[in-house]
Amino acid sequence: MAIVATLGITVTAGVRPSTAARQPAVPATTATAADLANEERALAKYFDDLVAFDSECAKLAKQPVLEHIHINPFQVKSDDLKSRLPGVQNTIREIIRKLKAANEWDDLDASLAAKITDGTSNTFFKETTFRQLLEESSNGLTSHGNEISIPLDKLRKKIITGPGPGDGADLQIVRAAYETPAPMKFVSVRCSIGRARIGLGIKLGHYPTGDTINRVAGACGENGTYNPF
């Protein structure tokens, strides 16, 4: 009996190593695709609000006479859009962070180009690629916040009946609408956010509607100047 027990132990000990050797290898960890649905909605919401603000200003500009009471609500909307702009810039920074974490940053432009099926959308990323656009917008949007109130500044000019000698009212308005020359290929807040919205949508498989393309094209008008009037 002692001899049988000893043999049993010996056989068992000899089987264990071969069993361990047959364990399946653990697969290598792969990066998960970036989840950018929330960021896409945030960009779309802000751009749509910008367009709505411009459209309302354009309608008000058609009135023959304007008073401060007509413009005050638009000042509130303009201030709200300006206060939200840093959040939009942070959203773009988060987009970049997620793309890098998912290993989708380096070939971002190539993958986007492969998904564009019409020449119109492609024109938004010719002079500035999608990657360049995100990089510039992640740092430069808030420095151009005064652009948002340009339609409102134009409305205010219709209220002024004319400055008196030394009044300086015209000079004051010029200063309010003045923008520091844009660095690099930055076009405008409206155009940058609109193009970022289109690029992100295409990347996620949500091709822009004709209405969205037209509104972004309007925001990226000749010389980057958007004029709803």
Note the pLDDT tens digit of each residue in 154-178.
888 888 554 444 444 443 333 333 3
By residue count, the chain amounts to: 229
> Which residues touch 5 (CB under 8 Å, ≥6 apart)?
none
Domain count, the chain: 1
Residue 18 falls within a domain, yes or no?
no
Asked if 200 and 40 count as a contact pair (C-beta separation under 8 A), the reply is yes
DSSP state of 125: G
Looking at residue 200, its pLDDT comes to: 96
Residue 171 falls within a domain, yes or no?
no
Residue 189 falls within a domain, yes or no?
yes
Residue 27 falls within a domain, yes or no?
no
Note the pLDDT tens digit of each residue in 86-134.
999 999 999 999 999 999 999 999 999 999 988 778 888 988 899 999 9
Residue 176 falls within a domain, yes or no?
no
Residue 147 falls within a domain, yes or no?
yes
* Domain assignment of residue 154, given as a range: 36-160+181-224
Residue 7 falls within a domain, yes or no?
no
Residue 1 falls within a domain, yes or no?
no
Residue 110: CB atoms within 10 A of its CB come to 10
DSSP 78-113: HHHHHHHHHHHHHHHHHHHHHHHHTT-STTHHHHHH
